Amino acid sequence: MASKPEIGEEEVLKLLASTDYQPLNKTDLAKKLGVPVDGRAQFRRTLAGLEAKGKIVRIRKDRYVLPGEADLLIGTLQVNPQGFGYVLNATDDGRGDLFIAAENMGTAMHGDRVVARIVREGLSISKRQRASREGRIIKILERANETIVGTLQKSKSFSYVVPDEPALVHDIYVRVAPGRELPPVNYKVVVRLDAWEHRHINPEGEIVEVLGPAQKPGVDILSIIRKYNLPTDFPGAVLSQADSIRGDIPPREIAIREDLRALSIFTIDPEDARDFDDAIHVKRVGTDWEVGIHIADVAHYIPAGSALDKEAFRRGNSVYFPDRVLPMLPERLSNHICSLRPGEDHLTKSVIVHFDRSVKLLNYRFAASVIRSQARFTYSQVLKILQAPPQDAISSQLRDAWSIASVLRKKRFKEGALELDMPEARVKVDREGKAIGILREENDISHQMIEEFMLLANNLVAKDLRERSIPAVYRVHEDPDAQKLLEFRELVKSHGIAVGDLTQRREMQAFLARLADRAEGDVLKVALLRSLRKAIYAPKPAGHYGLAKADYTHFTSPIRRYSDLIVHRAFTFGLLRQKAKLPRSVDLPSICEHISKTERIAADAEREAVRLKKLEFFSGLIGKPHRLTGTVVDVRNYGLMVEVKEAIITGLIHISSLDDDFFIFDPANQRVIGRKTKVTFKIGDSVEVRVVRTDLFKHQIDLELAA
């Protein structure tokens, strides 16, 4: 007789969701589901897995229920530096997050995955507006941090570490291991946490790594690397595999590919880029156009399941800091063999698109190809070329490329895409890693040109993968939550900006257009981005809200994103009809979850590093003659929020520093006004400022008006 199939998660969840289900413990659950005795161990592991994921919870007498059935919420704890926090409602059931008062947090810490019991509904206290209910944490499912990075301090009787993360509100008492000495005060260290069981006693731990003096250049970035547990060195087996890869291309490989080396192909990247993922060409075909998007064929060099592949998956993506890069692939691959450097033959995957003279897409095809880039351009070089009359064949080709891309861009926005791009500030550092300058980079036409061609390739590849039902990874951006848009709308109205129903795409587009002319536009756009859902990777194409695309994936950056490497294998298998090992459909959800997580971690780490380096640069200005141009982007009762435009950083001019008069806050008109002089400061005013104070711990900058 055939044995009963293994009971999986779906069967357990279906039973617990049934209307006649009464809470059962694991033994009674096994009996109810008919789990044979020899399958009980696996069944217990299934229950443990569901509980760890927060899909089921245990109540009194170890009986299992679904979270919603017991007034429980499972999610990630987000702590405010003031001590209170929220359990983030990952299920998006419309009830919002759960407020947690400091006294109800127990020993949970920022980032922990927790179970909380709802204790009160209908909150109305102002600082709890994002949550309509209050809870108490009853269980910690998973600790966010085994180690914590911070700065060592000492009192008369003990030593402690102040965490770098302000949301970790408890100092960590440190033990001294036998035979070891503590480093000096104000050194950055890594502490391994002990089990923390009593909230009224500070957590304790042991120093496991000394990073160096807090003020030493480079230690700040190293601290961020340790804080986010980012991998640095590659394992020996990975480096050995990379070293064994041939640097030249065998003639037999060229023979089976489409040879595009005679085309005028070029790359466009930032000035400091070393890994060139993508290249393009544009040429006339009679009265029509041909556009080629050529992407480094990383999958050719990295077999699925190999040491290189496993390490690339573990990392998920490259991480870019102002003073260094933590690449997804060893440098031999990322900067040499795979990088589309000019004057060298390289293997690529190509999307070749045929447009008519009005840039209507006629057809497209895919190819395994070999190219030779004719030129390497930076964005600033291309911008200068596009702004001047054509001088030669390559400048004419660049102008043709922008002519096509500009039409694609207009069509995309006409179809409902949102203009969510933001200017960026690039921090320049010296050889030691010390910040020496800040450059503002706009999303100008040189960036937009490449962006349109990459969006096109990603869209076409995703469309074909979906139509052929090939297992792959898609880039998904779900529609925003209506309640969060309503809350954002109230913020916008407080700035005196008329705004309609932002759940309507056309109104959202009109609102974004209005922001372009507002002094506080960038600040409000950042707030809008926080109100929208985050884009993630998913095994099914569920559409991309921001781009207004039904089909979208990531295909164009396989040197620095593992998602693209998966898509390249699907591209090889389904679109080129060649052999390729694809992930099993059953594994795709966990793969997507992992690479979505590594992407979030990388983005957080990069953002924190840039802000720290900005603050480091501004710290160096204190006490020296300097003037910065800023714009008032918000007015509060305690002062003016001023954005330093070139650095894209916001600082505070405290109202007490406006010492020529006594200034009164006028909330109705979003301004402060001098009682005697009647001098006013309002949103949109341009001001000259200087830096008077920086706080590297709180990531804050204080300004005052320049004389």
Q: What is the pLDDT of residues 664-673, one digit of tens each?
A: 999 888 899 9
Task: Choose one of 110, 125, 142: the last residue of a domain.
Answer: 142
Q: Taking 60 as the threshold, does the pLDDT of residue 129 lie above it? A: no
**Pairwise CA distance, residues 592 & 601, whole Å:** 14
**Pairwise CA distance, residues 496 & 402, whole Å:** 37
Q: What is the pLDDT of residues 609-655, one digit of tens each?
A: 999 999 999 999 999 999 999 999 999 999 999 999 889 999 999 99
- The amino acid that residue 504 corresponds to is Q
Q: What is the pLDDT of residues 452-470, one digit of tens each?
A: 999 999 999 999 999 999 9
- Confidence tier at 70 by pLDDT (50, 70, 90): low
What is the per-residue pLDDT for 123? Answer: 62
- Confidence tier at 126 by pLDDT (50, 70, 90): very low
**The 3-state secondary structure of 326-381, one letter per residue:** ECCCCHHHHHHHCCCCCCCEEEEEEEEEEECCCCCEEEEEEEEEEEEEEEEEEHHH
Are residues 437 and 516 both part of a single domain?
Answer: no
Phi/psi region, residue 636 (left: phi>0; alpha: psi -120 to 50; beta: rest), is: beta
**Residue 493 is part of which domain span?**
482-532
Q: Is residue 226 part of a domain?
A: no
Are residues 260 and 384 both part of a single domain?
Answer: yes
Are residues 167 and 127 both part of a single domain?
Answer: no
Are residues 562 and 699 both part of a single domain?
Answer: no
Q: Is residue 514 part of a domain?
A: yes
Q: pLDDT above 70 covers what percent of the chain? A: 97
Q: Is residue 48 part of a domain?
A: yes
Q: Who's near 525: CB < 8 A, 6+ residues apart?
A: 420, 422, 512, 515
Rg, Å, the chain Cα set = 28
Q: Is residue 603 part of a domain?
A: yes
Which two tokens mark 296?
A: 């480094």
Task: Indicate the SS3 state at residue 666.
Answer: strand
Are residues 338 and 383 both part of a single domain?
Answer: yes
Are residues 541 and 403 both part of a single domain?
Answer: yes
> Region 197-212: what's the mean pLDDT?
93
What is 205-258 written as a DSSP string? EEEEEEEEETTSTTHHHHHHHHHTT---SPPHHHHHHHHTS-SS--HHHHHTSE
Number of separate domains in the chain: 6
Tokens 């505070």 sit on residue = 652
What is 536-552 written as a DSSP string? EEESS---BTTTTBSS-
**Pairwise CA distance, residues 270 & 281, whole Å:** 18
For residue 562, give the H/E element and its range: helix 562-570
- Confidence tier at 7 by pLDDT (50, 70, 90): confident
Are residues 547 and 409 both part of a single domain?
Answer: yes
What is the per-residue pLDDT for 93? Answer: 53
Other beta carbons within 10 angstroms of residue 375's beta carbon come to 16
Give whole-number Cα distances, 639 to 16, 58, 547, 651, in Å.
54, 50, 38, 10
What is the per-residue pLDDT for 175? Answer: 84
What is the per-residue pLDDT for 523? Answer: 87
CA quadruple 448, 449, 455, 458: dihedral sign = negative
Give the predicted TM-score (pTM) of the model: 0.88
Are residues 156 and 205 both part of a single domain?
Answer: yes
Q: Is residue 439 part of a domain?
A: yes
Task: Choose one of 83, 107, 142: the last residue of a domain.
Answer: 142
Are residues 270 and 370 both part of a single domain?
Answer: yes
CATH number of 189's domain? 2.40.50.700
Q: Is residue 3 part of a domain?
A: no
- Confidence tier at 259 by pLDDT (50, 70, 90): very high
CA quadruple 241, 574, 558, 349: dihedral sign = positive
Say if residue 385 is exposed, middle or buried (CB neighbours under 10 Å; 0-12, 13-18, 19+).
Answer: buried
What is the per-residue pLDDT for 125? Answer: 46
Average pLDDT over the chain, rounded to an integer: 92
CATH number of 696's domain? 2.40.50.140
Are residues 693 and 677 both part of a single domain?
Answer: yes
> Region 551-580: what's the mean pLDDT?
92
Please give the backbone phi and psi of residue 383, each rounded to the nearest 5 degrees, phi first: -60, -45
- Confidence tier at 130 by pLDDT (50, 70, 90): low
- Least confident range from 81-90, 323-332, 526-535: namely 81-90
Task: Choose one of 183, 214, 245: the last residue of a domain.
Answer: 214
**Bridge partners, residue 641, by sequence:** 634, 652
Q: Is residue 620 part of a domain?
A: no
- The amino acid that residue 119 corresponds to is V
Task: Indicate the SS3 state at residue 152.
Answer: strand
> Region 167-186: what's the mean pLDDT?
89
Q: Is residue 613 part of a domain?
A: no
**Pairwise CA distance, residues 142 & 612, whole Å:** 29
Per DSSP, 407 falls in state H
Are residues 516 and 546 both part of a single domain?
Answer: no
Are residues 106 and 187 both part of a single domain?
Answer: no
Residues 468, 575 contacting (CB under 8 angstroms): yes
Q: What is the pLDDT of residues 286-322, one digit of tens each?
A: 999 999 999 999 999 999 999 999 999 999 999 999 9
Q: Taking 80 as the threshold, does the pLDDT of residue 415 lie above it? A: yes
